Structures are given as C-alpha cells and as structure tokens.
Amino acid sequence: MSKGLKAAADAILQQAVSGEPRVPGVVAMATDRSGTVYEGCAGQRTLGEHAAVTMDTVFAICSATKAITGTAVLQLVEEGKLDLDAPAKLYVPEIGKLKVLEGFDDAGQPRLRAPKRDVTTRMLMLHTAGFGYDIFNEQYRRLAEAHGQPSVLTASKASLDTPLLFDPGERWEYGSNMDWAGQVVEGITGKRLGEVMAERIFAPLEMTSTAFTMTPSMRSRLARVHQRGDDGSLTPMLDFELPQQPEVQMGGHGLYATVGDYCRFIRMWLNDGVGENGRVLRAETIRAAEKNGLGDEKIRLLPGVIPALSHDAEFFPGLPKSWALSFMVNDVAAPTGRPAGALGWAGLANLFYWIDRKNGIGGFWATQILPFGDPVSFSAYLAFETAVYDSLSRRRAA
C-alpha cells in the first residue's frame, strides 16, 4: 500500500463519515492481481449503536450479487450443461409461461399477450429478456401498487412471476433477470443457488463470510441499512433485512458479504479466472464474458420511480455504456481514470465496484444507505476510485 494512496483514501473515508451530510459507515478496498493495495474503514455499523465499522463488517451487497450468479452460469456453460442461446424454459419451465405486458385496459387490468420469441439465458445475463424492477419501471410499480405484485425483496416465487415489458431480445431493461438466471442454475444442478456458489465459487476463493443466510458470526458483524431523509439525516432501518430463510435465493440481490470477500472475487476476474485455491473460470470464458453483448444498444439512466428506494441514477452521465455477462461496460475512458472496456456495477444500498482487467486493478466501496444513488456515498466512491488511479499513475511515472 503506497503512503500516498493510504493518505488520500483515508481522508476520503473520514470526510464521508464526518461531513454534513455524511454516511454512517464505510469500508473501501482496492486490489491488484497480487493482493490488496488499499483497505480502510470508518464510521459506525449502525447509528445509535457503539460498534465501529471494521474490515470484516458484513453488508447486504444487493445487486453486487449479480456478477457472482453470472459466474455460476458461466461455469455451467464451460461444462456443456448450459446453452446460453437455448430457451431458458428448458431449464426453468416457469419462465416459458410468462406473457408480455402491453399496457392496462380501461378498468386498469393488465393487457397481456404471448411473446414473439423465447427468453434465453444470454438475454437474462444481458438484461434484454424483458424483465424490469418496480424500483425503476413505472409499469411494474403500477402492478405492485394496484395489483399486489410482490417486491423481489420478499424473495418469493410470486415476486418473479411478472410479465415481460417487451418481447425478449428487443432492448435493454435493468430488472429481475439474474434472479431467473439463478433459477436456471438451480434447474441444471438440482441444488439451491447458495449451495452451488459455496461449493464452486466461495470455497476456491476463500470467501468465508458470503452467503444468502448469515451465520451467527456474520450477523455479529452486520451493518444495518439506513434511510436518508430529505434533510440529509440518516435513520437506521432496524427491521430491514433480506429474508434469511428465503423461498428463492435471489441471484440478483440476495447475498450478504464482506468487502474483503468481494475483492477476492474481483481478483479472480483480474487473474483470468484463477482464485486463491484454484481456477474458477477459464481465461477464454472471462475474455468472452467481458465483451459488450448489446451491439449498438446502450444502457440508460435508471429512473427512480420509488423515491424512498432510488434516485434517478447513472454512472458517468453523458458517456456511452454497454453491458457484458453480467456487468456494465464503460465504452470510453471515465473521469475517474477507469479505461474503456472496464467492468463494474453497484448494489441498491449504495455499494459500488469496478474491475479493470486492462490495468489489473479493481475495488469495492460499501455503505448501507437508501435511496440508491446517494450523493454523499456516490461522490465519495468516485473520489476513492480516482485516488486509486492517481496512485497507479504516480507509481508508473516513478
């Protein structure tokens, strides 16, 4: 760890937890191909309680789960057990029963029709299958409010039983695709998704504090999610917790983890699929998976249609961004120093990560705040990423 990076990053974390407004607590880590190049933490796990954030603090990582589910999917492709371009209903029959939502009739009832083509697992990985989230889509929000469609946060089978917003393959829409991809994994393996991840990803990567159901040790280190008020205040959501005995282990958002564990996962992607205790993915799989899979299509701003859960949110506004299997890809260099072709994404409670395979660097920033796109956490994360690249540039110039 360079002294310059440590001083710069430590200052960013301290400002994040002591400024006005602030974040309750944060853990940040950066890794290169060999190991950790920065780690730091500041603040409290839960405001109003005495426990400080530590490097082994456990977070609900929300949509950072997606990339791990994607890795499990890619392992099955390597083994010849999964064809990304075959109908996903071959592995999960229920997905073949879903219809396309064409709007609502005069009585407010959904108008549904059969889709023109089948959903494939590749579409699920690329978010082009037709699924959305009520957090970011007005039609799904209407289904939830007027027709009782359960939130995916309930981790119920009923929450996945949503209509498609358009015919599969037609465009990009961020949604519950990776929850369905997790069901594909379960359909092929005959095991629950968490068991597959534990055997095939967590064990070889030594990710000992990552799971859908927290162990007693993980729970003792848990940071609680906080709600940001309009006045900038933070209120601990002591009753908010992802279901610990979920009907569905949600491949799109259900994991709890430490930042150190997630950086082991990032390091595996930096190292062409090799982890602490062996290979997780083939190098050629990684190289194929990191490519833009959308063609000329670009991902768009996520509109926060449920203000308590998300602001309007977008990485690097004004710059073109695509999607890979299954990450965001920035098509041009970003202001932080992240180069074109790097991978990254986020989690709803304001967690952010990136994987820069070109330079062999990546990192993770974890807070627990709603709504998503929190200006304080997000701006501090971007400052942290910039500090990592500034340090990298100085090291190369020396």
Q: Tell me which residues are annotated as active site.
A: 63, 66, 174
DSSP state string for 346-379 = EETTTEEEEEETTTTEEEEEE--EESBS-HHHHH
By the 8 A CB rule, do 28 and 385 touch?
no
Q: What is the largest CA-CA distance in the chain?
A: 70
Place of tokens 């998976």: 289
By the 8 A CB rule, do 316 and 335 touch?
yes
Amino acid identity for residue 379 in this structure = S
Residues 6+ positions from 282 with CB-CB distance below 8 Å: 78, 273
Which of 41, 59, 44, 47 lies closest to 214, judged by CA?
A: 59
32 phi, psi to nearest 5 deg: -105, -165
Task: Give me the helices (H) in 41-169, please.
Answer: 65-78, 121-126, 138-147, 157-160
CA atoms within 13 A on the CB side of 69: 34
Rounded Cα distance between 302 and 224, Å, is: 24
By the 8 A CB rule, do 78 and 285 touch?
yes
Q: Is the dihedral of CA 117, 122, 125, 128 positive or negative?
A: negative
Residues 6+ positions from 11 with CB-CB distance below 8 Å: none
What residues form DSSP beta bridges with 58? Answer: 222, 258
Rounded Cα distance between 124 and 74, Å, is: 12
Pairing relationship of beta strands 274-275 and 278-279 according to DSSP bridges: antiparallel
Can you give the C-alpha Rg of the chain in angstroms?
20
Compute, in degrees rounded to 10, the torsion defined by CA atoms 312, 64, 256, 380.
-60
